[in-house]
Structure 1
Amino acid sequence: MRLSTVLLAAASLVSTVQGHWLGNIPHRGFAPFAGQANYPVFRNVKDYGARGDGVTDDTAAINAAINAGNPCNRGCTSTTMTPAVVYFPAGTYLISSSILPAYFTQLVGDASSPPTLKATANFAGFGLIDGNPYYTPVLNWKSVNVFFRSIRNFVLDTTAIPPATAATGIHWPTAQATSLQNIVFNMPATADVVHVGLFIEEGSGGLLVDLTFNGGATGASMGNQQFTARNLKFNNCKTAIIQIWNWGWTYHGLSINNCRVGIDISAGGSNNKLDVGSITVFDSSFTNVPVGILTAWTPNTNPDTAGSLVMENIALSNVPVAVQGPGSSTLLAGSAGSMTIAAWANGHNYAPNSAREFSGPITPNPRPATLLSNGRYYTRSKPQYENLPASSFLSVREAGAKGDAATDDTAALQRAIDTAVAQGKVLFLDYGLYRVTNTIRIPPGAKIVGESFPVILSSGAFFNDMNNPKPVVQVGTTSGQAGQVELSDFIVSTQGPQAGAICIQWNLATSGTPSGMWDVHVRIGGFTGTQQQVAQCLKTPGNPTVNPNCIVAYMAMHVTRQASNLYMENVWLWTADHDIDDAANTQITIYTGRGIYIESENGPFWLWGTGSEHHVLYQYQLANTKNIFMGQIQTETPYFQPTPNALVPFRPVASINDPDFTASCAGVQGNCAAAWGLRVINSRDILVYGAGLYSFFDNYSTACSTFSAGQTCQQRITSIEGSATNVNIYNLNTIGTREMLNRNGAQVAWFADNVNTFASNVAVYKSN
C-alpha cells in the first residue's frame, strides 16, 4: 500500500474519532414525566452559546444549558423527573461566577480531551462548580438526600484568582450514588495561597476517584458521614487533606507529594472532643511530606474511639514523622529515606490476644493474590470508551424501545442488547423508563452505558410470586457461563407489587480482566413511574399490617454459586425510605426481602464504595464464598422495623441461607429480629476496609439512635457464623445497635465500650 494511502486512512480514522463519542451521537433520551414533550435530556453547552475559547465569559451560557427545561434547582426538594446530561466539548471555558448544576444532573466533559473551567480574576461564588448552593443560611438541598449526581472529566483552574483571595474548585455536599471522577484542580502554589480544591461539609456519600490537586492551601477539605476516595493525587499543597468530621472514610491509592501535611484529622482536638470518627488508609504513598498524618488522638481521647486510624501498606519517602499527635508528639516515626508501614493502627482492637486500647503495629491482613494487582488491591475506573467513534454505539430507542414507563419494552430492549453484542457495539441506553414484563438477559460480550441513569423497570405478574422469584436483569443465562460484561450508569427497579423480583442476578464467570458494574444502582420505589409512592405506600407507624401492593422486590442482587471475577464500584442497592418526587420527601413503607447475596464458591469480588439499604432480612449476606474485598460499605435498617420485624413479610428460605431470627433470637433481649447489616456464613478471606452499619429508627422514631438513649434501635447488626476464617474488618462503625458484632451468636463488641462521635467504632477486628 502506498504511503499516501496509509496517511489518508489514518487521517480518516482520526476524523471519525475526533471529539468524544458522547458529543457526536444522536441523542434520543426521553423523560416521560418532565411535563414537556421535547424536554432536553442531553445538552451540549455550545448549543446554548458557550464558546470554550478561553476569552469569552461562558458562565451564563453554561447555566442556561443546565436550566433548560426548568429542572429541579433553587427551592426544589428533589426529583427524578428532569434528568440531564450537560456535555462540555474540549476547550477552555472562562467563568466569572459559579456553575450551578441542578438536581439529577450530570456534568460530563470530553473524556478524550477534558475541558478546562477557568475562573476569571474577579470570580464571585462559592466554588467554580457549586453542587449545593447556600441561597439562604442553609444548603439548597438537604445534603443527605442529594442522590444520583456526577461530575467527570474536567480541569478546574483558579490560578487567575489572587492567591490570598478565598476560592474553591468544587463545593460538593452530597449523598449516595454521587461521584467525582477524572478531575484536575489547578491552584496557585504560593506561600500566601488560601485556595481549596474540593470542599464538602455535610452529606452521606459517595465516591471520589481519579482526582489530582495541584497547589492550594488545601487539596480537599471534607466532612461527611462516609466516603470512598480512590486514586487521589496531591502535589505541592500546603495540606493535602483536612478531614473536618466523619464517621468513617476509606482512602486507597493516595499519592501525596511535596505537601507540608498529608492528612489532618486533628479537628476538635483543641477542646479534647474530636470530630473525626475514623479513617482507613491503604496502598498509598507519601513523598517529601514532613508530617504524614496529623492527629489529636491520645489514649484518653474524648469520645473513647474518636480519631481511629488504620493504615496498611503505606510507602514513605522522606517523611520524618509518619503520625504526629498533640503537642507535636511523634506517635509513629517516619524516615528521611524510604520505608513501608506494613500495618499500624490506633483505636480499639478486637484481634485475638490483643490489647483493647491500642496504638502501634498490627498484623497486616492476609491478602489473597487473586484480589491484587502489583501488590495492591485491584481497581479499575469506569470505562468511558473515549477511543471509540460514535459509530460504535447503538441506541436502544433507535432500536425501537420507548422508555415511557408504560409500553412493554421487553422485546425491543432484549433485541437491542443482542444486536449490540452481535455487532460488537456498545449499547447506549438513552434516558427513559423501560418497562419490562419478562427477564432481560445480558449475554457475554455486552457493554451497556446509560444516559443520566435510565431505568429498567420490571412490571406484572411474572415478577410477583414470592414463592417463584425471577430475575429482572440476568447477567449470563446460567451460573458459571463464561464471558466478560461492562455495565455503567443505569438503574434497575420495579413497578407496583413485585414480590418475586430479583433485580439483578449475576451468573457470569469471567477470566482475565474482571467484569464490571460502575454506577449501576438498584433503586426500588419512591419515584414517579414505580406506583410505589406516597399515594400507594404511605408509612403507617405503629401498624404492623403489610399492604400486599407494597411488597415490591424479593432481592436486590444475587451473585450465584459459579459466578466469579466481578468488580463493583459506586453501586447503591436502595429500597426507598421516602418519595423523592414528593415536595416534602414524605416517608413511605415498602418491603424488599434481601439486599445483596453472594454465594459464589470462588470469587474474587471487589466492592468499592457500595451501599445496601432498607431490605427486610439483610443488607449484605456472604455465604460459602471467598476472596471478597469490600471498601467502605454502608447500610441502613428498614425504618419500620420492628413493626413488623424481619420475619415479615418474607418467609426465611433455607436454600438461600436466609436468617431465621426465631431460633437465633431465642433468649436475646431487645429488638433482635431486625435486618442484619452484614452477615458472613462459612466464608473465608473476607476483607472489609471500612463499614458503616446504621440503624436510625424504631418504628419510624429516631429516639433510639443516640448514646443517651442506649442505642436501642436494634440489638445486633454484624454476624460472623460457622467456619468463617480470615474475616477481617477495619473501622467498623455502627449506630443504633447495642451488640456491634457477633461471632456464632456470641457478642464480640458492645456499643458502650466503643463510643465514637455519633457511631460506635471498632478500629480492628480479625476473626483469627
Structure 2
Amino acid sequence: MRFVSALLAAASLVATVKGHWLGQIPHQGFAPFAGANYPVFRNVRDYGARGDGVTDDTAAINAAINAGNPCNKNCVSTTMTPAVVYFPAGTYLISSSIFPAYFTQLIGDAAAPPTLKATSNFAGFGLIDGNPYYSPVLNWKSQNVFFRQVRNFVLDTTAIAPGTAATGMHWPTSQATSLQNIVFNMPATADVVHVGLFIEEGSGGFMTDLTFNGGATGASMGNQQYTMRNLRFNNCKTAIIQIWDWGWTYAGLSINNCQVGIDMSAGGSNNKLDVGSVTLIDSTFTNVPVAILTAWTTSSNPATAGSLVMENIALNNVPVAVKGPSGTMLAGTGGSMTIAAWGNGHSYASSGPTKFAGPITPNPRPGVLLSNGRYYTRSKPQYETLPASSFLSVRSAGARGDAATDDTAALQNAINTAVAQNKILFLDYGLYRVTSTIRIPPGARIVGESFPVIMSAGGFFNDINNPRPVVQVGATSGQQGQVELSDFIVSTQGVQAGATCIEWNLASSSGAPSGMWDVHVRIGGFTGTQQQVAQCLKTPGNAAVNPNCLVAFMGMHVTRGASGLYMENVWIWTADHDIDEAQNTQITIYAGRGLYIESETGPFWLWGTGSEHFVLYQYQFANTRNIFMGQIQTETPYFQPTPNALVPFPPVVALRDPDFSASCAGVEGNCAAAWGLRVIDSRDVFMYGGGLYSFFSDYSTACSTFAAGQTCQQRIVSIEGSAANVNLYNVNTIGTREMITRNGGRVAWFADNVNTFASNVAVYKSS
C-alpha cells in the first residue's frame, strides 16, 4: 500500500507541474566571450515552432539553434557559444534535418518528451544530424566534437515509406557527449530499410536509456570506443550492427523479437575483421534467432580482431547464442538459460596468450557493486516531478560568471542556501572564477546549464607542495551523506600548480550512492583559462618546461574515507589543443595526476569515464577495493618523453606516486611515461573494456603503428603489490609495447595480440 500511495502522490505532483521546470525557470546564463546579448537558453516556441503535429517546424527549430551565430557550418570548434535549445511537450513536424551547433544541447521536456516527426517527403541524413556532410567530409572532425547532449525525445520516421532510406539520428561525435531518454520509432514491416541511430566515426562517448522500435537496424555504429547501457530493441530486423570499433561496452541491453541481436561480423568476408572488441554484460535476448553474429575464427586476421566477452546474459527462446562463419559457436535454447560468461580472443593468467573460444570462469562480483544481480546503474536525475520553485539560480544569488569577477563567496553562499532550503542549485551558464576552495556539503544537488565552469585562479592554488581542492565534496574524509551533481565543468585559470580540481571526501555508505553525471574536469585549451596557444604553444624537441604552463596538481582525488560514488560520463581532460583557436593548434600544458582513488572500501562505479594527458598517470587505485569500470579511455601526454613523466611534478610518496625507479630498471624504450592504469595493493577491481592509448612521442605519431613497433611508450597498465582479484576484459592498447605488467614483469606483449589498430587482450585475471 505504501508503494501505491507513493505512486499516486508522485502522479499528483506531476499533474500540478505545468511543463518541465527547465522551461519555467528564469534563464540568466551569460556567455562572457559571446557578447552581452547572446542567448544561452532558447525555447523553440519563442522562435515560432508550434509543436502541433501539423505545422512544419523545421525552420523555426533551426532558427532557435542558430540564434546568436553559434559554431555551425565551417566552424572548427568553440567553447564561447554554449546553448540549451529546449523543446516543450508536443509533436514537432519536420521536413528536413535539424542541425545542432557545436557546444549545443537539445533537451526536451523530461516529464513529457516531445516528438520530432518526419513528414512523408522528409529530406536529410537524420531527423537530428549531429555532424552534417556539407561537403564530402564531416563538418566537424569527429574526434574533436565534445560537450554535446541530446535527451528526452521521440524520433519518429513512420510517415516515411518503409522502403525509403531514413535515419533517426546521425551522431559521429567524441568525448563528453551523451544521448539519454530517446525513443526511435520506425516502421516494422518486411521491406523496411530505416535505421534508428547511425555513427560512422568518432571517439566516444556515452549513451543510456534508448529504445528502438521497428526498423531494419536499430543502431548501426562505428567509433573508436563507447559505453552504452540500458538500450531496448523491439521488432528490429537487426538490433545492432557494429560497423567497426577498437572497444565497445554494452550493459543492460534488452533485445526482443529481432532476427539478429548484435552483428559484429563486419569485414569478415575477406577474413580481415573490422570490429576490434565487444564487451556485453547484464543483458537479455528474447525471441531472437541469433543473439550474436561474428566473423571470428581461430585464423582471424588480425589475430585478436573480433574479440568478444559476455557475462551474465539471459536468453529466452534464442536458438543460437553465437554464430560464426561456419555455424553455431555457442548454442542457445528454445527455453530459458543464462550464460554466466563466455568469450573468444586471447586470454592471460600468469602467462599467455591463449587463444580461446568458450566459457570464461568469472571471479565473483562483490555484492556491494550489484543491484538485483547486475552491476548498479542510475540514470542522471532530471527532477521532472519538481516545480520551478524547487530551484535556486546561482546568478540570482549574486554570482557573475564572467571569468573575471571573484565569485567565491557568492557561489559558496548559493550552495549553502540551496542545501539549507532543500532546493536544487541551478548553475546558470558562466565561467565562475574562484580564489579559494568551493565546499559542497551533504545534501547538495547541483545542475548546470550547458556546462558552466567553476574555475580556480590565484596564488591559493599555486603551491605545488601544498595542493588544495578547487571543489571539495564533503568537508572531511569520511563525512557521511549524499550529493547529486550534473552537467558542469571544473577547471583552472593561469598557473595553478597546486590545484586539485575535485576532492571527494563524502562517504555514502547507506541508501543510494552519491552521483556525478556529465561532470567534467577540463583543464586548459579554452578561452578564459589563459592556458592557450598564446601562453603554452607546443615546443617539440624542447624538454624545457614553461613555468607558466603548470596548470593543475591533480584532476580528481577520492580520499581514504570516501565511499559510495557513482560516476557516469565523466571526462577528466588536460587539453592537448586549443579548442577556441581556428586550427585547433596543439599546446603543452602540465597537470600532474588524473583520477586517484585511495578509498579503503569503495564501492565505485565508473560508467563511460575517461582521463587524459596527465603527467604521472591517468587512473591510479591504491589500497582500495570494489571498483567497476565500463570502457575507460586514456591518452598519454603528447609531449612525453620530452620531458618524461618525472617532470615537472616530483613524485609524492604519500600519494603513492610512481617514481619509475623499480618499474623501469633494466627496461628499454620509453619507460618513464604516464601510466594509463595503475592498480596498487587493491582488490576486487573489474574493468569491462578499456582503451589505453599512447599516440605520440614528442608530438610525432610515427611511433603508434604496428609497422613502427608501437614504440611511443614501453608500459601502460601496471598491477602491483598485493593487488588481488583484478579482472580486465578487452584491454586495448595503442603505441605501447608491454600491454600489461605485474610487479614489473611483462604479462602481455603487443605483437602477440594484434588487433585492427590497437592490440587486444580479451581476458586478464589476477589471482
TM-score range, shorter chain: over 0.9
For residues 517-540 of structure 1, the C-alpha deviation after alignment (integer angstroms, 9 at most, x for no partner) is: 000000000000000000000000
Query: Aligned partner of 1:751: which letter?
Result: F
Show the counterpart of 2:757: 758
Show the counterpart of 1:24: 24
User: Structure 2 CA distance, aligned partners of 1:207 and 1:671?
Assistant: 32
From the superposition, tell whether residues 133 and 663 of structure 1 become closer, same or farther in structure 2 (CA, over 3 Å): same
From the superposition, tell whether residues 342 and 757 of structure 1 become closer, same or farther in structure 2 (CA, over 3 Å): same
The answer as to 2:240 corresponding to 1:241 is yes
Query: Aligned partner of 2:572: which letter?
Result: L
Are the equivalent residues in 1 in contact too, given 2:484–2:515 (CA < 8 A)? yes
Secondary structure at 1:22's aligned position in 2?
A: helix
Instruction: Give the C-alpha shift of residue 662 in structure 1.
Output: 2.9
User: Structure 1 CA distance, aligned partners of 2:690 and 2:22?
Assistant: 36
Matches within 5 A, 1:402-417: 402-417=400-415
User: Structure 2 CA distance, aligned partners of 1:689 and 1:679?
Assistant: 16
Matches within 5 A, 1:165-564: 165-327=164-326, 329-351=327-349, 356-510=354-508, 511-564=510-563
Show the counterpart of 1:127: 126
Instruction: Give the C-alpha shift of residue 664 in structure 1.
Output: 2.2
Instruction: Give the C-alpha shift of residue 365 in structure 1.
Output: 3.1
User: Structure 2 CA distance, aligned partners of 1:675 and 1:62?
Assistant: 45
User: Structure 1 CA distance, aligned partners of 2:354 and 2:265?
Assistant: 22
User: Structure 1 CA distance, aligned partners of 2:524 and 2:665?
Assistant: 34
Are the equivalent residues in 1 in contact too, given 2:13–2:385 (CA < 8 A)? no
Secondary structure at 1:664's aligned position in 2?
A: coil
Are the equivalent residues in 1 in contact too, given 2:453–2:491 (CA < 8 A)? yes
Matches within 5 A, 1:126-145: 126-145=125-144
User: Structure 1 CA distance, aligned partners of 2:173 and 2:596?
Assistant: 27
User: Structure 1 CA distance, aligned partners of 2:13 and 2:215?
Assistant: 40
Show the counterpart of 2:709: 710
Show the counterpart of 1:720: 719
Show the counterpart of 1:593: 592
Are the equivalent residues in 1 in contact too, given 2:597–2:624 (CA < 8 A)? yes
User: Structure 1 CA distance, aligned partners of 2:530 and 2:14?
Assistant: 48
Show the counterpart of 1:111: 110
User: Structure 2 CA distance, aligned partners of 1:10 and 1:369?
Assistant: 31
Normalising to structure 2: TM-score of the pair? 0.98
Are the equivalent residues in 1 in contact too, given 2:350–2:747 (CA < 8 A)? no
From the superposition, tell whether residues 12 and 165 of structure 1 become closer, same or farther in structure 2 (CA, over 3 Å): closer
User: Structure 2 CA distance, aligned partners of 1:731 and 1:587?
Assistant: 30
User: Structure 2 CA distance, aligned partners of 1:12 and 1:348?
Assistant: 55
For residues 547-568 of structure 1, the C-alpha deviation after alignment (integer angstroms, 9 at most, x for no partner) is: 1110000000000000000000
User: Structure 1 CA distance, aligned partners of 2:46 and 2:370?
Assistant: 45
Secondary structure at 1:64's aligned position in 2?
A: helix
Secondary structure at 1:663's aligned position in 2?
A: coil
Query: Aligned partner of 1:79: which letter?
Result: T
For residues 631-650 of structure 1, the C-alpha deviation after alignment (integer angstroms, 9 at most, x for no partner) is: 00000000000000000000
Instruction: Give the C-alpha shift of residue 18 in structure 1.
Output: 1.5
For residues 619-670 of structure 1, the C-alpha deviation after alignment (integer angstroms, 9 at most, x for no partner) is: 0000000000000000000000000000000000000000011332121100
Query: Aligned partner of 2:138: which letter?
Result: L
User: Structure 1 CA distance, aligned partners of 2:10 and 2:623?
Assistant: 53
The worse-fitting range, judged by mean Cα deviation, of 349-358 and 557-566 is 349-358
Are the equivalent residues in 1 in contact too, given 2:598–2:624 (CA < 8 A)? yes
Show the counterpart of 2:157: 158
Are the equivalent residues in 1 in contact too, given 2:13–2:386 (CA < 8 A)? no
User: Structure 2 CA distance, aligned partners of 1:603 and 1:185?
Assistant: 37
Query: Aligned partner of 2:32: which letter?
Result: P
Are the equivalent residues in 1 in contact too, given 2:352–2:748 (CA < 8 A)? no
Query: Aligned partner of 1:655: which letter?
Result: A
User: Structure 1 CA distance, aligned partners of 2:78 and 2:216?
Assistant: 36
Show the counterpart of 2:60: 61
Are the equivalent residues in 1 in contact too, given 2:17–2:387 (CA < 8 A)? yes
For residues 417-452 of structure 1, the C-alpha deviation after alignment (integer angstroms, 9 at most, x for no partner) is: 000000000000000000000000000000000000
Q: Structure 1: which 5+ runs fail to align?
A: 1-8
For residues 225-282 of structure 1, the C-alpha deviation after alignment (integer angstroms, 9 at most, x for no partner) is: 0000100000000000000000000000000000000000000000110000000001
The answer as to 2:46 corresponding to 1:41 is no
For residues 360-410 of structure 1, the C-alpha deviation after alignment (integer angstroms, 9 at most, x for no partner) is: 001023100000000000000000000000000000000000000000000
User: Structure 1 CA distance, aligned partners of 2:30 and 2:352?
Assistant: 58
User: Structure 1 CA distance, aligned partners of 2:10 and 2:551?
Assistant: 53
Show the counterpart of 2:97: 98
From the superposition, tell whether residues 17 and 275 of structure 1 become closer, same or farther in structure 2 (CA, over 3 Å): same
The answer as to 2:624 corresponding to 1:625 is yes
From the superposition, tell whether residues 646 and 355 of structure 1 become closer, same or farther in structure 2 (CA, over 3 Å): closer
User: Structure 2 CA distance, aligned partners of 1:654 and 1:279?
Assistant: 38
Query: Aligned partner of 1:738: which letter?
Result: R
Instruction: Give the C-alpha shift of residue 351 in structure 1.
Output: 3.0
Secondary structure at 1:704's aligned position in 2?
A: coil
User: Structure 1 CA distance, aligned partners of 2:305 and 2:660?
Assistant: 33
Instruction: Give the C-alpha shift of residue 16 in structure 1.
Output: 4.8
Secondary structure at 2:662's aligned position in 1?
A: helix
Query: Aligned partner of 1:455: which letter?
Result: V
From the superposition, tell whether residues 286 and 12 of structure 1 become closer, same or farther in structure 2 (CA, over 3 Å): closer
User: Structure 2 CA distance, aligned partners of 1:262 and 1:365?
Assistant: 26
Secondary structure at 1:282's aligned position in 2?
A: strand
Are the equivalent residues in 1 in contact too, given 2:120–2:160 (CA < 8 A)? yes
The answer as to 2:705 corresponding to 1:700 is no
Secondary structure at 1:661's aligned position in 2?
A: coil
User: Structure 2 CA distance, aligned partners of 1:693 and 1:294?
Assistant: 27
Are the equivalent residues in 1 in contact too, given 2:72–2:102 (CA < 8 A)? yes
Instruction: Give the C-alpha shift of residue 38 in structure 1.
Output: 1.2
User: Structure 1 CA distance, aligned partners of 2:662 and 2:312?
Assistant: 42
User: Structure 1 CA distance, aligned partners of 2:708 and 2:351?
Assistant: 32
User: Structure 2 CA distance, aligned partners of 1:216 and 1:356?
Assistant: 40
Are the equivalent residues in 1 in contact too, given 2:559–2:598 (CA < 8 A)? yes
Instruction: Give the C-alpha shift of residue 13 in structure 1.
Output: 5.8
Identity of aligned residues (%): 84
The worse-fitting range, judged by mean Cα deviation, of 12-21 and 562-571 is 12-21
User: Structure 1 CA distance, aligned partners of 2:19 and 2:45?
Assistant: 13
Instruction: Give the C-alpha shift of residue 17 in structure 1.
Output: 1.2
Secondary structure at 1:764's aligned position in 2?
A: strand
Secondary structure at 1:119's aligned position in 2?
A: strand
User: Structure 2 CA distance, aligned partners of 1:317 and 1:10?
Assistant: 34
Secondary structure at 2:702's aligned position in 1?
A: helix
User: Structure 2 CA distance, aligned partners of 1:745 and 1:413?
Assistant: 46
Query: Aligned partner of 1:484: which letter?
Result: Q
Q: Structure 2: which 5+ runs fail to align?
A: 1-8
Secondary structure at 2:654's aligned position in 1?
A: helix
Query: Aligned partner of 1:464: which letter?
Result: N
How many residues align? The count is: 758
Instruction: Give the C-alpha shift of residue 131 in structure 1.
Output: 0.0
User: Structure 1 CA distance, aligned partners of 2:389 and 2:406?
Assistant: 28
User: Structure 2 CA distance, aligned partners of 1:609 and 1:192?
Assistant: 36
